[in-house]
Structure 1
């Protein structure tokens, strides 16, 4: 592994007081609020309003923007916002726009009664998902550009802590507000209106932070395009046509491949695997048609070819040029690093219930105590990364993530024991927070300052794609082999990651100042 300039423990802990690090705590808080307003908090509201359970689950699709944010991340890298750019700079101007859109979307949701206007609520939720994903893109870019690589782990630690606190506010906080107003009475839209209004107010923390911080001082070559209004209109027209095509093609392909899923299930394939096959085919069709439309609009001159190349192709080409064949190892590490955590995590709550823990015990130990352990683990990961280097902590995080899954296998063989439960959650969440902080720092070191938003958006999408696909089969595996074998299996899945970390550490260099942004080693 690459040698790292060893810092003292005092220097490592002193990094916690860095102004940029403290800034990430507040920006993380701003990023953590929207997600639960789309998922669990909204789900409870919709059920109280009498919305069918099957319809409630459809609303989770609004969060798909988080998975596909790399599609519009290049716009944030290349497009300076007229007016705001001169006053605030590239990152802060985009942050203000995204945060304003989030606040307006939350207020829109709060002023809409789903019992009366469900379609309008759906539009508001989609607007929130898109706005929140945009804010994430900008915060990631700001975090990478604001400090040198040796502080990236500490920045990610503060971001994780703020994000988790934001989730508490949007989850427990919003539900408490609605519950206090509603009491034991019937469904009351006003209660949710006030709760979501308070969440919009909480977003002002992010707005104030954006206004108070300074723009990152990084060398950046501005695009020769996007300086005229016509440039914006032409590029956004291409982008809009491509997105509309993707949505329409996805709907059409869903109907087209549905009979295939029925036939595969009838032929003996498990429903989960049949769903994966048809879902993958549906996505592939939609992506291919969207790419075709983007190519066609460029061919007929709606958008100049060089503009598309600079925005979408150049970031990918830059990564491949910098890493060459080593890119395969790097991408494999990105795609598999969190596999042990994610595959196990899908079954965690079901497991706790199945072995006899009550909802109150799960909430107290896993959700509350576990949350603080995750935050502690993330700060520990940041301090250790400053002290020993990102690669060493990346290896430690991968090792601990695999080992702690074995603890779940042990817990599966004994009667429900709260002390054991707390000990396992402490170990698992501490290691998870540590690993995540180091991993985010590693991904940050891989990016080129010229394409920060685009490249990091791609990395973060790859990070969860394959593990989530595998996790979809977790329930089937547990039914077939039981919890003990399942947890041991997830630990084994994490072992090849250790080899990938060692190879990546030897073949790449991500622990030097950000001006060079990670590169493959020569010789």
Structure 2
């Protein structure tokens, strides 16, 4: 397995010199603002803000878990990512291959958030589910394009740093759509909250209009294949590059890496309410204090990957995410105690942020830049798919057992991930070490 590199040889910097060089990569501001656009709709469409809203209007836990499956497009974006790699979006083709899709998806996200603002789940969930489907499709498309853009504007040695910058914007978007939306819902109602979030999508839309289209390699393979080849060649390329066995193990490892975190995501909002915390408490602790800790964890992850490489950081991140789930036992044992809420959120968000950047940088190193959107979308979908589906029935698990049992079981799911990492340990090639020899065509710095 080799990592994707730039079209020109890149010096292999390690330690603090590598950190300074990686975080000095251009396009950081662009990635910050595009990250904000990706992070803003996620909680409103596919995660805690939506589930909190549904619980707030009286829906049962089982129904909330099932409704969360309507956001499944976030898990299946690799299915249409080949079209994003191969074609420009017709109506906005003047912007180029990446930005044409980006603008179209951002506009559709804006429309879906406005429609969700006008829906009334307490009167019936059909309309809400339909707009969750539309919003998750648009949000997933936006994420695919932003990921491809990030990988194409910088060499592999800078991906951890750009991932940290992107994560900063993403987490700020989550602060706004988490804490901001909950505060607005507490004092002005859910309709005002969702309309305000829709209006804030203007910021990433303007960024898309003014940012630069990344320059693709002159001999890019994707330009030379037909419509059907656009779908199968990214997958055959991945396995021909890594081999069948290693390729399958890599996909399984990515799929299980975030499982402990993903599986508890749907139940987080209902758990907070059932533990006696108000929406304002949740906004303050989980979506304001917690998200800033996540940002700190993200930058710590970027620094550690730039300084020390992947292997040890993958181990630390996987173990930390699983063990941080046990911190929620404090909230289960001491309901309505604000100190327990702060302690659990501190552990959870710090390791979430750290692990997120480590995984993003690792997945970026696995992509062939001729099929950036498709291969990365496949990896991201795999990183979320197992936990998302189990999360869809997590309400029934909690009702059959208890919140405490659920958190313990979620932490134990790290065992197969660590076993796969042990097998991969000597097969992972560090990007900074291999950067000068990497061969895939890179993008230009913008």
| TM-score over 0.5 (shorter chain) | yes
Instruction: Say which of 227, 233, 251 aligns to 1:314.
Output: 233
Contact 1:510 1:517 in 2 (8 A): no
- Is the aligned partner of 1:144 residue 2:151? yes
- 2:168 — aligned with what? 161
- 1:24 — aligned with what? 31
Aligned mates of 1:113, 1:75 — CA distance in 2: 35
Aligned mates of 1:55, 1:474 — CA distance in 2: 11
**Cα deviation 1:170-220 (Å, max 9, x = unaligned):** 3443455576667xxxxxxxx93x655543332121122222322223312
How do residues 446-461 of structure 1 correspond to structure 2 at under 5 angstroms? 446-461=366-381
How do residues 100-115 of structure 1 correspond to structure 2 at under 5 angstroms? 100-107=107-114
CA 1:333–1:217 in 2, change beyond 3 Å: closer, same or farther?
A: same
**Cα deviation 1:318-339 (Å, max 9, x = unaligned):** 1111111211221121121112
- Is the aligned partner of 1:440 residue 2:360? yes
**Aligned partner of residue 213 in structure 2, secondary structure:** coil
**Cα deviation 1:158-178 (Å, max 9, x = unaligned):** 222222222332344345557
Instruction: Say which of 285, 296, 312 aligns to 1:392.
Output: 312
Instruction: Say which of 180, 202, 209 aligns to 1:211.
Output: 209
Gaps of 5+ in 1: 183-190, 226-305, 519-523
- 1:79 — aligned with what? 87
Shift of 1:359: 5.8
**Cα deviation 1:254-313 (Å, max 9, x = unaligned):** xxxxxxxxxxxxxxxxxxxxxxxxxxxxxxxxxxxxxxxxxxxxxxxxxxxx631x1211
Aligned mates of 1:485, 1:42 — CA distance in 2: 24
Shift of 1:26: 0.7
Contact 2:179 2:283 in 1 (8 A): no
**Aligned partner of residue 221 in structure 2, secondary structure:** coil
Shift of 1:23: 1.9
- 2:439 — aligned with what? 516
- 2:414 — aligned with what? 494
Instruction: Say which of 83, 86, 96 aligns to 1:89.
Output: 96
Gaps of 5+ in 2: 4-10, 442-446
CA 1:354–1:168 in 2, change beyond 3 Å: closer, same or farther?
A: closer
CA 1:502–1:24 in 2, change beyond 3 Å: closer, same or farther?
A: farther
Which one has a bigger Cα radius of gyration? 1
Contact 1:32 1:163 in 2 (8 A): yes
Aligned mates of 2:136, 2:303 — CA distance in 1: 33
- Identify the structure with bigger relative contact order (alpha carbons < 8 Å, sequence gap 6+): 2
Aligned mates of 2:265, 2:388 — CA distance in 1: 10
Contact 2:222 2:230 in 1 (8 A): no
Normalising by structure 1, we get a TM-score of 0.68
Contact 2:290 2:349 in 1 (8 A): yes
- Is the aligned partner of 1:374 residue 2:294? yes
**Cα deviation 1:396-425 (Å, max 9, x = unaligned):** 111222333444457766787543542342
Shift of 1:94: 1.6
- 1:223 — aligned with what? 223
Aligned mates of 2:379, 2:266 — CA distance in 1: 22
**Aligned partner of residue 80 in structure 1, secondary structure:** coil
- Is the aligned partner of 1:173 residue 2:96? no
**Cα deviation 1:81-111 (Å, max 9, x = unaligned):** 45744x4321112212222333344455567
Shift of 1:496: 3.4
**Aligned partner of residue 75 in structure 1, secondary structure:** helix
Aligned mates of 1:351, 1:468 — CA distance in 2: 17
Contact 2:65 2:266 in 1 (8 A): no
- Is the aligned partner of 1:33 residue 2:40? yes
Normalising by structure 2, we get a TM-score of 0.79
Instruction: Say which of 119, 127, 138 aligns to 2:134.
Output: 127
Aligned mates of 1:158, 1:426 — CA distance in 2: 21
Aligned mates of 1:52, 1:341 — CA distance in 2: 22
Contact 1:337 1:398 in 2 (8 A): yes
CA 1:344–1:69 in 2, change beyond 3 Å: closer, same or farther?
A: closer
Please say which of residues 381-390 and 204-213 is displaced more in the overlay: 204-213
- 2:253 — aligned with what? 333
Contact 2:32 2:168 in 1 (8 A): yes
Aligned mates of 2:200, 2:32 — CA distance in 1: 14
Shift of 1:478: 6.0
- 1:70 — aligned with what? 78
Contact 1:411 1:420 in 2 (8 A): yes
Aligned mates of 2:19, 2:29 — CA distance in 1: 15
